[in-house]
A and B are shown apart, each in its own frame.
Chain A
Amino acid sequence: MWNEKTKQLVADGKLVVIGVVQEQHAERARLYKQWKEYDFPIAQDATTSLGLTVVPVPILVDEHGYLLSARPRVDEMEQLVDVQRPVPRTPAPRLNPEQVTSTWLKSNVTHESAETKCCIGDALLREGTADSIKESLRYYNASMNQAIAEENEALKGLAAFRLGVAYRNLFDLVDASHKDPGCFSEAVKYWAMAIELNPNQYIWRRRIQQYGPRQIKPYPFYDWVGQATQEIMARGEIPVKLTIPLSGAEIAQPNANFETVISAEKNPDPDGRIASDLDRIIGIHVTVVPGKIVPGEAVRVHLRLDAENGHWNNEAEELLIWIDESKAGTRSSSRLEFSNAKKPSSDESRTLEFEFKTNDDVRDTIHLNGYALYNVCTVDDGQCLYRRQDFSIPIEIKSGK
């Protein structure tokens, strides 16, 4: 809407538009920009560093760098761009680009405040390498510890949200040598902490909902991606490629009623006759969102299977996950399958998701049991095997409802 309504003002040279997107994955914002044909520059604020708690928010700044309107309406823009203001006695500040680099900050700023540590952490996070992200974790942790010592809940929340972002960035690193699947659970833990500290932070709340069960979703977050891709291709363009795949949670429709689809097929290996993957050819990593719930609530379980010491054998049966029935609640599915890649063998991470709604009387930590059946080939001798791996998923329950 803003793009269309301001096009003429921009064309007339009366206005510049800059987008600031609250988005952790820049490539998704790039695809969105391509789809909507936005022709203005867009900055990424992955850590809510500008302090916004809600979106969308338009802000109009005058030609001297002073705020003109903190929330202009579309229909008053023509009038606002013609407002003439005198040159202010105090010029608006202008940052030196060097001052937002981690190198400059680390050598010029005394690391005395929790904010400063977050500032350095943000600069490191922006650099985007595995090492710089890990170093950002150290600064954010130090910021958190200082905020705790000073009993400053607001700063603790800022540091906690950033820790979540940094951990998720580590999880999303494409470089396999830095693969650390446990980072997603850490991210969820810190995002939950952040929203607990500031329950009115709408942007932080959305982060948990993005990956959480359908019951807590206000809307599907990225269901537009499919439509956008088709429409961009229909225009004869090549859509921005998403290297970090969307999880099922991120495109699922909200649903207040918990739905369950129990397969008509029976437990494929009830007696555990398939040989266990004792060599951990496949690593199974679990993230439960939210990390803690009250009795009666649902969680979304993200299972990620990595070919850690072998390859997927795509010339045999598909990967299958079986979730056992539980007295603690209801599973959305009992059986999950992952389609084989269209080549004889592959090494990709495979993610599968399901939801679990707990009963009203559950307490402490409950455990959901299940197992995976898969075909793999070993790295050492290329031997191809059919293996089973059991898992137990802990779901933490908050006391009291």
Chain B
Amino acid sequence: MIQFIIKSLMISVVFATIPPWIVGQEMVDQVATAINYQYTPRQGKQVPHFDFILPSIDGGKMIQLSNYRGKKVLLLHFASW
């Protein structure tokens, strides 16, 4: 039982600091909302936050969203096909 609690705590601590899924899921939810309900932002409303780190298509370096804090960022999700 103690082992189970420790393990659960470890998982929650790790996931509190590794957002690829947690923050990703928030994004999914928001995007799904946008698509299904034509979401429009409401001023003053607390909205989700997220970060991601993904490889640049140019090779080598990684692109991290939070490196652009201090500026508004437009994320353009698209496909080249």
Contact = CB atoms under 8 A, between A and B. Distances in A.
Chains A and B belong together in one complex: yes
Interface of A: 2, 6, 13-23, 26, 28-33, 40-45, 49-72, 77, 80-81, 83, 88, 92-97, 99-100, 105, 108-110, 112-113, 115-116, 118-119, 122, 126, 203, 206, 210, 221-222, 250
Contacts, number: 245
Interface string B42-62: 010011111111111111001
Contacts of B40: 69
B61 to A, nearest CB: 9
What band does the interface of chain B fall in when counting residues whose beta carbon is under 8 Å from A? Answer: 35 or more
Given A94-B66, A97-B62, A70 B72 contact: no
A21 B78 contact: yes
A23 to B, nearest CB: 5
A17 B74 contact: yes
Interface string B7-22: 1001100100111110
B54 A20 contact: yes
A121 to B, nearest CB: 11
B76 A19 contact: yes
A102 B65 CA distance: 20
7 contacts: A20-B77, A58-B75, A65-B66, A88-B46, A92-B49, A100-B18, A110-B7
B72 A19 contact: no
Nearest to A22: B79
Contact of A64 (B19, B49, B80): B49
Interface of B: 7, 10-11, 14, 17-21, 23-28, 30-35, 38-41, 43, 46-59, 62-66, 68-81
A294 to B, nearest CB: 26
Decide if the interface of chain B is mainly helix, strand, loop or mixed.
Answer: mixed
Given A21-B57, A95-B52, A71 B72 contact: no
A56 B79 contact: yes
B24 A50 contact: yes
A342 to B, nearest CB: 30
B56 to A, nearest CB: 6
B48 A67 contact: yes
Nearest to A118: B21
Contacts of B32: 53
A65 B1 CA distance: 39
Given A43-B57, A44-B54, A97-B53, A210 B69 contact: no
Contacts of A22: 77-79
B75 A18 contact: yes
A110 B10 contact: yes
A108 to B, nearest CB: 6
